């Protein structure tokens, strides 16, 4: 299970909507297994079907999280027109077995958020619990 604050869910959703029609992406950080901070990043691919972090922003985010004594718990990205589940490309590019992958879908005008652990091409859905 992952615990995540309502503010972070709102930030992820807002970022996903603002970046339409393209995928949005970023990091999620916190302490003691609770996600409390969203770091929106630029999708340098500017694509509705793919995303890549801006390397300079990625480095700055990792540095900022370290300075704030936060750990990166998950990364997130949006699926503007497809369900909130990992695509084959998402699975192929899931290199870090120690991080969670959160996907927000905006398909059909509905918001759906799911979390996954992806290890060796095996996808396991993880429950999200909203913390205040």
Q: Are 72 and 65 in contact (CB under 8 A)?
A: yes
pLDDT tens by residue, 60-115 = 999 999 999 999 999 999 999 999 999 999 999 998 999 999 999 999 989 999 99
pLDDT of residue 131: 85
* Contact indicator for 130, 5 with CB cutoff of 8 Å: yes
CA distances (Å), origin 111, targets 5, 22, 108, 119 = 16, 15, 9, 26
Global pTM reads 0.94
At residue 52, the pLDDT reads: 95
Question: What digits encode the pLDDT tens for the residues 21-44?
Answer: 999 999 999 999 899 999 999 999
Which residues touch 79 (CB under 8 Å, ≥6 apart)?
23, 87, 103, 104, 105, 106, 107
Q: How far, in Å, CA of 71 to CA of 30, rounded?
A: 6
- Predicted confidence at residue 118, as pLDDT, reads 96
Q: Which domains occur in the chain, in start order?
A: 2-131 (3.40.140.10)
């Amino acid at each position: 299970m992952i615990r995540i604050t309502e503010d972070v869910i709102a930030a992820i959703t807002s970022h996903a909507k603002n970046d339409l029609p393209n995928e949005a992406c970023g990091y999620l950080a916190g302490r003691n297994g609770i996600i409390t901070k969203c770091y929106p990043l630029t999708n340098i691919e500017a694509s509705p079907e793919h995303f890549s972090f801006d390397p300079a922003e990625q480095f700055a985010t990792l540095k900022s999280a370290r300075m704030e004594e936060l750990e990166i718990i998950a990364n997130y990205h949006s699926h503007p027109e497809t369900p909130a589940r990992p695509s084959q490309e998402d699975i192929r590019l899931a290199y870090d077995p120690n991080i969670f992958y959160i996907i927000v879908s905006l398909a059909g005008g509905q918001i759906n958020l799911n979390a996954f652990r992806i290890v060796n091409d095996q996808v396991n859905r993880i429950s999200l619990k909203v913390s205040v």
